[in-house]
Amino acid sequence: MADRFRIMLAQLNPTVGDIEGNAAKAAAAWAQGRDAQADLVALPEMFITGYNTQDLVLKPAFHNAAIEAAQALAKQCADGPALAIGGPWVEAGRLYNAYLILKGGRIVSKVLKHHLPNETVFDEVRLYDAGPLGGPYAVGNTRIGSPICEDGWHEDVAETLEETGAEFLLIPNGSPYYRDKYDVRLNHMVARVVETGLPVIYLNMVGGQDDQVFDGATFGLNPGGELAFRMPVFDEAVQHVDLQRGEDGWRITPGEVVPQPDAWEQDYRAMVQSLRDYMGKTGFKKAVLGLSGGVDSALVAAIAVDAIGAENVRCVMLPSEYTSQGSLDDAEAVANALGVHYDFVPISKGRAAVTETLAPLFAGHDEDLTEENIQSRLRGLLLMAISNKFGEMLLTTGNKSEVAVGYATIYGDMNGGYNPIKDLYKTRVFETCRWRNANHRIWMNGPEGEVIRPSIIDKPPSAELREDQKDSDSLPDYPVLDAILDILVDQDGSVADCVAAGFDEVEARRVEHLIYISEYKRFQSAPGTRLTPRAFWLDRRYPIVNRWRNRS
């Protein structure tokens, strides 16, 4: 019986629907494993289809094509190590989330996911049938247990595998990022090690898919819970790990433990990676955004440059008579610091034309929010025209605070294809700008040093749609607003919870009201990077028509 088992771990970035491309990535990883004399090459959950597929996997033509691709991959990789890859599987008319073991030209074993997550971004009860609790599969003389993702978070699957002869656990995952998610995963895996006494290898994918970002950070734990290795966070990597058999069973040979970035860096990397992959996987090479001189658009510009390079980013200043000289100077300073293409497109003549056109209809009515929103919508129109003409994806720049309370103009500044800061509260926007000014990493395409000057970060936020306007005229100060939003949105709390935390009841009720009446805007908003477990989209699904209010 062999005393060493080598696994080539492929922490890779699939694309949903690119079955052929994903299979090619798997074959390339398998070839690396063959050259390294691996016994098994392992890829993450649902790798052949990409993940998260949502309802696409229900389409018979799609899941059948994925199964056929896995069978073809088995034949292509017949002469060498076994290959383990996630994908759909159909038995007796039932569709499963499966982990397929390929060896000798065919699929020799199948693991069917038992626990189907049905919360936050996951709807697997809608998509798949639950597989039975099963035993391990054999690769050579070694018996391996592979709980699939959520199955690794439940003790019954791992304990059943240990009781039926598994010698170690290899857990394939499609586990998307949210802030501090790694610690949650680690705690669950330590529990599996303690319960079973077996080594655990947690294999995760990387890359962006719509709002979700998969952050990798594949790791291994030895009996006792000791961290044996950790692979890079967010980066693709293919590397082997060895397990050695001793008197007490198998142990992972210790390897490199790649440092874990702090939460500020991980959030920023998630925003950069999600935008990079969203554009790359949808075919866009260039981006455009309105650069107002404010902090939000400055941060989005920096993210865009770090994601796709300054040569691929266009920033447009669209001033009105209410745009301050400070904003003009700040916008130009950001554009120069980042090295982007910068256009200056005043909207005064266009606004005058719209005002004149509407004058007969609006006669006898005072100017109000309508006229303010015309400015925002005119900017949205012009930016979409630029996007159409030059084939550049328009980026939206509203932060989570604004998205939550509807402090944004639908068909105006909400226009766009993607919003990397959609799940970042305003108070974190300020700090993220400071973090980017002070830090530079190899994965950033933008320049080192200060790219968002302090005057942008420190000035009172304003939409500049009327004379001397400040955000605080319409909203609580952002530290207060964000704290209330954290209770009402992120914690699913009530007005009473806000009051118990020391906030004014009238103010909390006003914020709650704004959240509910803005649902129709969010329903029509661009997708954006998910940074928390309560991001606006799949994590939080509310009716648009909603008269319920918390009166207690």
Question: Which of 261, 335, 282 shows the shortest CA–CA distance to 304?
Answer: 335
Give yes or no for a cis peptide into 52 (omega within 30° of 0).
yes
Q: Which two tokens stand for residue 489?
A: 């949105």
Choice among 25, 103, 124, 149 that is catalytic: 149
The length of the chain is 552
Rg of the Cα atoms in the chain:
26
C-alpha dihedral (187, 244, 150, 55), degrees to nearest 10: 140
Question: Is 149 an active-site residue?
Answer: yes
d(CA 515, CA 495): 12
**Residue 497 CB-density burial (10 A; 0-12 exposed, 13-18 middle, 19+ buried):** middle
Count helices and strands (H / E) in the chain: 17, 19
- What are the Cα distances from residue 203, in Å, to 142, 186, 199? 19, 12, 13
Choice among 25, 103, 113, 286 that is catalytic: 113
Please tell me what DSSP assigns to residue 490: I
Angle, helices 263-282 vs 295-308, to 10°: value is 60
Q: Indicate the pairing of strand 94-103 with strand 106-112.
A: antiparallel
SS3 336: helix
C-alpha dihedral (522, 525, 530, 535), degrees to nearest 10: 0
State the SS3 of 60-94. Answer: HHHHHHHHHHHHHHHHHCCCCCEEEEEEEEEECCE
Choice among 45, 150, 372, 402 that is catalytic: 45
d(CA 26, CA 12): 9
- At 113, the amino acid letter reads K
Q: Are the beta carbons of 91 and 97 closer than 8 angstroms?
A: no
- What are the Cα distances from residue 133, in Å, to 157, 161, 284? 6, 8, 44
- As a whole number of Å, the end-to-end CA separation of the chain is 68
CA 419 to chain centre: 11
Q: Which two tokens stand for residue 332?
A: 């130009």
Question: What is the residue whose two structure tokens read 């009166």?
Answer: 551
Question: Is 349 an active-site residue?
Answer: no
d(CA 510, CA 504): 10
Q: Which two tokens stand for residue 28?
A: 């390339």
Rounded to 5°, angle at Cα 176 from 174 and 177:
145
Question: Is 247 an active-site residue?
Answer: no
- At 498, the amino acid letter reads C
d(CA 484, CA 490): 10
Catalytic positions, written as ranges: 45, 113, 149
